[in-house]
Every structure is written in structure tokens, then in C-alpha cells.
Amino acid sequence: MADRAQKILKTVFGYDTFRPLQAEVINSILEKKDTLVILPTGGGKSLCYQIPAMLFSSLTVVISPLIALMKDQVEQMQRVGVPAAMLNSALETGTYRHNIAQIKSGAARLLYVAPETLMMPRTMSLLAGTGVDCLAIDEAHCISEWGHDFRPEYRQLVQIRKQFPKAVCAAVTATATPRVRQDIQTTLGFKHTDTFIGSFNRENLYLQIVPKDNSLSRVLRLIQRFRDQAGIIYCATRRQVDELALILQDEGVSALPYHAGLSDTMRRTNQERFIRDDTCIIVATIAFGMGIDKPDVRFVIHYDMPKNIESYYQEIGRAGRDGLPADCLLLFSYGDVYKIKHFIQQKAPTERRAANTHLNAFLRFVEWPGCRRIPLLQYFGEAPANVKCGQCDNCQKGQKEQIDVTIFAQKFLSCVYRTGELFGAAHIINVLRGSKAQRVIQLKHQRLSTYGIGRDLSKKQWQSLSRQFLHQGLLIEDTDYGGFRLGPNARDVLKNKKKIWGWLDDDPADENDKAAPPDLKKRDIPGYDRDLFQLLKEKRKEIADQEKVPPYVVFADKTLMEMAAYFPQTEAGMLQIHGVGETKLSVYGSEFLNVIQLFCRKQGIPEKPKPVTKPIRKPPARVKKKRHEVIGETFSAGRTVAEIMEMFAVKRQTALDHLYRYWCEGNPLETDNFGIHLNLSSQQTDSVFTYFEKLGIRRLKPVFDALAGEIDYPDLFVLRLMFIAQNALMVDERVRR
């Protein structure tokens, strides 16, 4: 079977190799094991069920929530010569009937259907007649109430499973927390199950954050870099969208606005023009993007700060689905942060906390001085192995050396302490720098011993340091008022027992010219002839308009680039090109061959052989990690216990047990930021730690007894982990266990 799948990949789709996990997923589905697939946008999820559909004898039913995407997929299937049909409420009666006939006759291999249409008795009886081999559920997270776009209709899919017990189920999605994952499997009654989780690292996206000044010229420069190619610019407000779109139009850029304030028709037209390559750029609010499958978006700009890391990831994810290089530029200003903070203050206290947590996670990403992929992927619970991606501004400018900033940390922390652990960065910095600000004088903070001891650094430098101290757990920020308290690590720093390393930066988002993205030519596009590429694009557009489909449905950019690099002038040569399968060759081959032949004859260019890429033997599917390992790594990657409880849907004690087990197996806890506040005095904590030192940590009972039961076991569990994390050298203890 595996060989046949490989063959279909080449002859039908025209691709040489599978993307990560595709082959494994296809095998699993072919073995009729219910399969859950979590791959990022552009990971190639559709192929995972499309290829099995061609190998099964009965129908594959694809359940898809968005009619627009359904249409796109059916068109793409038809273009590669795979008969596919769709059923949904938006079809005209004639088409509907025609599609039903196709399914009845067994001509269609795939049926795309909206969940509510599927549930209709007549659809069910239709399918009972044809038989179903595979149920593929697209956007499977919609099934879970815990997910972000729950659709009640998806719940009814359970009944379908009962009706077709022999059909294997493939659930695919790009977003699923562990809880949602579990929900998908239980709701769908998965039995012999395989789960495949791909990395969320999108290697082809260049990540860059620059200060928000000269915004327009930065934007224009990026547009110039991808001249005549598609891009999305996200703004925070409708007004900003309208303004920027006008400015760009004045600059001669083909740009259109998109936001909820425009009429339906206007929105639809603008989106359609973008998809059909009639306009290059869409300036939009976050209302834009759902249901857009355009694979050749070359850049995404955040003109304003995104809502949180998840939205950022989702929005930049719309760039470069075709795997070719794409740029993601974020214009950042602390002014925006203050606006958001102000906005958060207006919220109800419960919402405030969540909003602040999101904001801080985002700031951690912005202020991170190393490879940007580290905080980004950590947020999604991945511990990136490669700490230098080379595809972000920080990697590009070369990471700055860390220096010993213990003295600064001591100054800052003692100032926080002396002012009563109440104030935020601005006030602390004022005191440190000896400011005569009214508030300082009012509070008599000029009399403190820490007043004026920090004049040697600029305000900006202190600001950057304070953020670093926060991210290192030396400080805890009050989520409601923004005041700092001392964090779990602060004690040792003040006692001179622990050194702190950090970056002395002027501005965390300072742009450095070297941080510009690398030359596009060096980024995995084969050197191709731009003139021929242009001619091929024109041909593609002409055909697409005739057929009323988006140009990418005819051929992807990469296909045209390869044509313009290898100049195929025969059908055999054409079949070597990425994305040219047998059907597309017979339908479009001659028209594109004509363009190439004419061009090459004029220029005297011969056909160049395309280097053969052998299908790479994929490494075996990832060995599934044990739960405590995943939890341990997630914690080490900077998530707090509370976040872990949420992510893995476990109780606090369970989370702590997992962490302890993780450590016992020889893994380090890389941080001591538990995010747990215990109602204990520092004397109590100290005495527990002293007993741990004396009596060991293997058993808690002796410590409990020594303290005459003054401290409960739940607290002791937490303290033991804090103790471990703060004393990384307790290997012996572990061995003795």
C-alpha cells in the first residue's frame, strides 16, 4: 500500500516526497485505525485522507464546516483528476441533483459535505447505498466544547459512526489542546487509535519584530521586496485599515481594505479579488482570514500588536502555506502595550487576569533576546531542539552576549522590597534613578536607601532588565495592578547566593540592520528566470479567469518557478516538475509547454534536467512520550503549574506528581517558576528547606513530623519541587531513591 501511496503522490499530485508525518498518517488510515492528525496550517492535512480515498473501494466522506473551503477542495481534486463531489445547502437544485447522481453511480471517490447536510435522512440513505470506507473530519476541534469554535452539529457525527461501523475515522485539525484532543477521540468513539502531532514550527516563515516608527516606509520596503505578490496587513481598527489602504493606493500599491464595517458585497468582492490575484494586498482587521486557503501569501504584517500569541501564530500562519519563504513583520511599540493595559483595566477582574497572562506571554515573545522560535513554540508546549533557527531577526543579528547583571538585579529587587512590593516598573525605576517625580516625593521614597542607586543605567535599560527579571521569576507582576512582588528566586539573589545573567539592551525591539531577512534568492527558491516566470503567471491567470477559479488551483507558484528554472519542453520533462501530475499535464500541459517553447526558442535555452529527488525514507513515527515527560518538558519550557493544569486538564497534585517523577528519572527542572503562591511565611519556608537539607526529600513524612504537622502535605509537595528546582545539584538524592 505504501508504495501505491507514493506513486499516487507523484502521478496524481506531482509531488516527489511526503511532508512530515503524511506517510505515517496515510498508512494508519489504510490500516483502518482511527487516526487523529494535528498538523499546522499548510502542513498538508488534506492529502492525508485524499490519498487513502483513492485506494479504498468505497466512498470517503469529508466533513467540512466551511462551504467556501469545500468548493476550493473539490475544484482542486477535480483538477488533479480525482472525481469529487460536494453536498451543502448553498448548491442550486440542478447541481445538487447532478452531484447525487455522481455519488450514486460510484463515480465520485470523495464526497465533501457540511455536517448538517450529512445528517439529513436522504443523505444517510444515499450513503447506505454506496457504503463508506472513511470518514474524514476536517477542523475536528469544532467537535469540542472546549475548543474555540465549537459547532453543535459536529456532535451528531457520533451517529454517523454508528451507521457506518466499518468506516475508519480520520480527524484532522491545526489546533487542539490536550483536552480538545481527548474530547475529539472520546466523542468520536476512537478505538484502535493513532495520534500524530506535527511540529508547529513553520520553518519557511521569517519572523521579525521592529519598533513602530517609520512604519509606512518599512511596510513599503517589504511590499517592494515581494513585488506583485500577495500579502496581508493586519491593523487593530477599521479606521486604521481604511487609512492605510488609501495611503498604499496613493503610493501606487494594489491594496484593498477588509473589515466588518464594509458591506457584505464589498467584503466579498475584495476577498475574491485577493484570492484571484487581481489585487496584491489586503489591509484588514482580524475579521479577515477565516476560510482563506490561498497558499501563496508571501508576507503578513502586523501593523498593530496582535491580541495574543495564539492570534499572532494563526495570523502569520496564513503566510507561506506553499512552503516557500514568507516574511512576518510585527511593528511593536510600548505605546500599544499601555493602550492594551488600559483596556484590560476596564475589564472584570476574572477576565483581567487571563488578559494579563496573555499579554505577558506576548511580551515574553517580543522581549526575548534569543531565537524567536523558542518562546513561540514553548507557548504551544513544544521544546524546540534547535535553538538557532536562522530564520528570525534575532538569529540573523547574532545573539548578544549575556552578562552578569546580578548587581542590577539586587538593586532592583531591594527597591521593590523597600517600597513594599506594591509598585510597577515605572515607579521603581524612578526611585532607582533618583527622580523627583511628584509621586516619589509624596511617598517619601527619596528617603529610601535605594533612592538614586541606579543612575548608571538609562530608563530604557532598566525597563528591559525589569522585564528580564520578570521572565526569570525574580519578580511576580500583580495581574490586576501591575505592581511587582518578589518572586521565588529573589531571596537567593539578594543573599548573594545566585548570579543572574541577562542582556543590557537599549530597547528589546531595537532594530539592527543586519536583522533584515536574508536575500530571497538564498532562501530555497531555485534560481529561475523571472521573465519566463512572469509569462507563465500571465498564462495561469488567463486560464484561471476562464475557468473562474483562483490561479493557485491551476498551478502553484512553485510549479511555475520550477518551469522557469528547468525549461521543460517535452511532456516527460513537464512531468518532472513539482505539482504536475498526469491529469494536469493532459489538461494544461500543452498551453504551458507552448509558452516555454516559444520563450526558449527565442533565447536559445535548452531544457535542463531536474535533479532527481529520491523519496526520503522518513524516520519512524515519533515515539510517543509519556505524560510526565511531556509535562516535565512543558514546565521546563516556562509554563507555570496553573497553565499545565489547564493545558493537560489535570489537578494540581497530579501535575506536581508528574513533575516529581520527571525529575526522579534524571531530567532537570529548568525553571523554578511554579506560579504557585503558598500562604506561608518566609520563616516557615526556610525551616522546611532546612529540614529537606537535613532529612532528605525522598520521603515527606519525616519532614512533616519534624514540623509537628504545621505544614500540610499539599504544601510540602510544592515546596519539595521548589527546593529541587532551586538546588539543581541534588543528583545523589535522586540516585538513592
Q: Which stretches of the chain bind ligand ADP, using CB under 6 A?
A: 15, 18-19, 22, 39, 41-47, 293, 295, 321-322, 556
160 binds Zn ion (CB under 5 A): no
322 with 553: CB under 8 angstroms?
no
41 contact choice in ligand ADP, Zn ion, none (CB below 5 to 8 Å, kind-dependent)? ligand ADP
To ligand ADP, the closest distance from the beta carbon of 162 in angstroms equals 28
**Which residue's CB is nearer to Zn ion, number 88 or number 378?**
378
Which one, 389 or 655, has the nearer CB to Zn ion? Answer: 389
Smallest distance, Å, CB 519 to Zn ion? 17
Q: Residue 74, Cα to own-chain centre: how many angstroms?
A: 27
Mapped onto helix, strand or coil, the DSSP state of residue 511 is coil
46 binds, among Zn ion, ligand ADP, none (CB under 5 to 8 A by kind): ligand ADP
How far is CA 169 from its chain centroid? 25
Residue 621 burial (C-beta neighbours within 10 Å; 0-12, 13-18, 19+): middle
Work out what residue 502 binds among Zn ion, ligand ADP, none; the CB cut-off runs from 5 to 8 Å by kind.
none
Burial class of residue 199 (count of CB atoms within 10 Å of its CB; 0-12, 13-18, 19+): middle
Residue 395 binds which entry of Zn ion, ligand ADP, none, CB below 5-8 Å type-dependent? Zn ion
Nearer to ligand ADP, 41 or 60 (CB): 41
Pairing of strands 132-137, 168-173: parallel
* Residue 295 contact among ligand ADP, Zn ion, none, beta carbon within 5 to 8 Å by kind: ligand ADP
Which stretch in 316-324, 371-379, 560-568, 700-708 sits in contact with Zn ion by CB under 5 A? 371-379
Q: Least distance in Å: CB of 466 to Zn ion?
A: 24
From ligand ADP, Zn ion, none, interface partner of 498 (C-beta below 5 to 8 A by class): none
Residue 293: CB minimum distance to ligand ADP, A: 6
Interface with Zn ion (CB under 5 A), residue total 4
- Select from Zn ion, ligand ADP, none the partner in contact with residue 389, using the beta carbon and a kind-dependent cut-off of 5 to 8 Å: Zn ion
- Residue 132 contacts by C-beta under 8 Å, 6 or more apart in sequence? 58, 59, 60, 61, 164, 166, 167
Contact 113, 87 (CB under 8 A): yes
Q: How many residues are given for the chain? A: 737
| The dihedral sign for the CA sequence 206, 211, 215, 217 | negative
Give whichever of 44 and 568 is closer to ligand ADP, judged by the CB atom: 44
CA distances from 717 to 318, 329, 721, 726 (A): 44, 44, 7, 14
In the window 26-55, what residues touch Zn ion (CB under 5 A)?
none
**Cβ contact 191:36 at 8 Å:** no
Nearer to Zn ion, 392 or 656 (CB): 392
Report the SS3 class of residue 191.
coil
Task: Kindly tell me the number of DSSP H helices and DSSP E strands found in the chain.
Answer: 35, 17
389 near Zn ion, rule: CB under 5 A: yes
Q: Return all residues near 215 (Cβ < 8 A) that are at least 6 apart.
A: 303, 331
Residue 73 or 464: which CB sits closer to ligand ADP? Answer: 73
**Least distance between ligand ADP and beta carbon 84 (Å):** 14
**Which one of the spans 21-29, 119-127, 366-374, 519-527 is the region binding Zn ion (CB under 5 A)?**
366-374
* By CB under 5 A, residue 328 contacts Zn ion: no
* Minimum CB distance to ligand ADP smaller for 18 or for 368: 18
The minimum distance between CB 389 and Zn ion, in angstroms, equals 3
Which listed range, 368-376, 545-553, 620-628, 715-723, lies at the site for Zn ion (CB under 5 A)? 368-376
Q: Which is nearer to Zn ion, 312 or 660 (CB)?
A: 312
Cell matching residue 450:
535605594
When asked if residue 371 is in the footprint of Zn ion (CB under 5 A), the reply is: yes
Select 79 or 372, whichever has its Cβ closest to Zn ion. 372
Q: Please give the Cα distance from 459 to 404 (Å, whole number).
A: 19
Distance CA 204, CA 324 (A): 6
Least Å distance, CB 471 to ligand ADP, is 32
Q: Identify which of residues 201 and 271 has a Cβ nearer to Zn ion in the complex.
A: 201
DSSP string for 377-423: HHHTT---S-S--SSBHHHHH-PPPPEE-HHHHHHHHHHHHHTTS--
> DSSP string spanning 71-115?
HHHHHHHHHTT--EEEE-TTS-HHHHHHHHHHHHTT--SEEEE-H
Give me the residue whose beta carbon is nearest to ligand ADP: 44
Q: How far is the CB of 396 from Zn ion (least distance, A)?
A: 8
371 binds, among Zn ion, ligand ADP, none (CB under 5 to 8 A by kind): Zn ion
Q: In angstroms, give the least distance from the CB of 464 to ligand ADP.
A: 37
Helices 22-30 and 45-55, axial angle in degrees (round to 10): 40
CA distance readout (Å), 384 to 312, 381, 405 = 18, 9, 26
- Of residues 22 and 240, the one with the C-beta less far from ligand ADP: 22
In whole angstroms, the minimum distance from the beta carbon of 365 to Zn ion comes to: 12
Q: How far is the CB of 292 from Zn ion (least distance, A)?
A: 27
The residue among 332 and 552 lying less far from ligand ADP, judged by its C-beta, is 552
Residue 379 binding: pick among Zn ion, ligand ADP, none (C-beta 5-8 Å cut-off by kind): none
Short-list 548, 549, 550, 580, CA closest to 562: 580
Measured from the CB atom, the residue of 440 and 556 that comes closer to ligand ADP is 556
Q: Which is nearer to Zn ion, 382 or 672 (CB)?
A: 382
Phi and psi torsions of 252, nearest 5°: 85, 15
In sequence order, what are the beta bridge partners of 301? 233, 329
Residue 375 interacts with which of ligand ADP, Zn ion, none, CB < 5 to 8 Å by class: none
Residue 395 interacts with Zn ion (CB under 5 A): yes or no: yes
Query: What does 322 interact with, of ligand ADP, Zn ion, none (CB < 5 to 8 A by kind)?
Result: ligand ADP
> Alpha helix (H) ranges present in 555-581?
557-566, 571-575
- Partner in contact with 392, chosen from ligand ADP, Zn ion, none, beta carbon below 5 to 8 Å by kind: Zn ion
Contacts of 217 (CB under 8 A, 6+ apart): none
Judge contact between 20 and 198, C-beta under 8 A. Answer: yes
- Choose from Zn ion, ligand ADP, none: what does 18 bind? Cβ within 5-8 Å by kind: ligand ADP
392 binds Zn ion (CB under 5 A): yes
Q: Considering the complex, what minimum distance in angstroms separates the CB of residue 40 from ligand ADP? A: 7
Closest approach, Cβ 77 to ligand ADP, in A, equals 11
Listed residue (222, 240, 218) closest to 297, CA to CA:
222
CA angle 47, 190, 313 (to 5 degrees): 50
Instruction: Rule CB under 5 A: say whether 205 interacts with Zn ion.
Output: no
Least distance in angstroms from the C-beta of 70 to ligand ADP: 13
| Continuous segment of H or E residues that includes residue 62 | strand 59-63
Q: How far is the CB of 215 from ligand ADP (least distance, A)?
A: 30
Asked if 24 contacts 196 with a C-beta cutoff of 8 angstroms, the reply is yes
Q: What span, in angstroms and rounded, lies between the C-alpha atoms of 334 and 298? A: 27
Contact residues: Zn ion, CB under 5 A:
371, 389, 392, 395
